[in-house]
Amino acid sequence: MKTVFINCSPKKKFSASAHFLGICRLAVYGDVVKTNVRSKGDYKKVLEHLKGADNTVFVLPLYVDGVPSHILGFMKELENFCRENNITLNIYVISNGGFIEGEQNQVLMKIFENFCARSGLTWCGGVGIGGGVMLNVMRMLFLVFTGILLLSVAISGIEHGEWLPQQSFIIYAKQLALILFLHAGVIAYVWKMGLAISKSNKFGIRYTRVMMPSFLFIIVADFFFTAISLFKGGMFRGWLSEK
């Protein structure tokens, strides 16, 4: 069983799509290939990976309630490639948007369903995720919290000879629990879809979101994107990217 995961985000580092792909990958067994489509230059490489594949998982961001333009171009190439080479694939999708409502991904899911019907491929469903940007930030904060924990352990060990500072681990456990809670819906559905992919079963369409009340999400999102604007995109991922 060969499964090809296609990260469709145009971002090179720390994309939400890469984050959700990683979660799903943990539940998929067999021969697994991970690749990227960021531009037309990637088309040929990805199409070669699809030879002999059983399942293809598109993991992509939601752009204006639909599919990013560079992926629409790839889908046209994929349709012709599959017809010319008599290739049949099971198609799965994980899409995410900045809006909190997972149902915002409905149009994108319909696009892929119609694409499969036109191309003779098997539409197996997907997961639409709301609040993907916030969940991706939580992933980055997890790395920050882990770094802080390791630093506090080192300081405690060097200064006091205590290499297992209880308070530091309690704080870290609470931070981790919060991150996992916010991810609960995503982990449940994406993991379940991963198990379906491993068996080439149809999954249907599921929608989920960051596990946070909408009124609180709006407040946090407004603050976050205001800060992003003030720093001209320099917060988190922006600091690690070329300007």
Which domains, ranges and CATH numbers included, belong to the chain? Answer: 2-133+184-211 (3.40.50.360)
Element (H, E) at 56: strand 55-61
Each residue's pLDDT tens digit, 31-80: 999 999 999 999 999 999 999 999 999 999 999 999 999 999 999 999 99
Number of H helices, E strands in the chain: 8, 6
CB 227 within 8 A of CB 235: yes
b/e 45-57 (16+ beta carbons within 10 angstroms → b)? ebbebbeebbbbb
Each residue's pLDDT tens digit, 155-195: 999 998 999 999 999 999 999 999 999 999 999 999 999 99
Question: Within a 13 Å sphere around the CA of 24, how many CA atoms are in the beta-carbon half?
Answer: 32
Element (H, E) at 120: none
Question: Within a 13 Å sphere around the CA of 202, how many CA atoms are in the beta-carbon half?
Answer: 7
Residues forming a β-bridge with 230: none
Element (H, E) at 16: helix 16-25
Model pTM greater than 0.75? Answer: yes
User: What average pLDDT does range 209-234 have in this prediction?
Assistant: 84
CB 159 within 8 A of CB 153: no
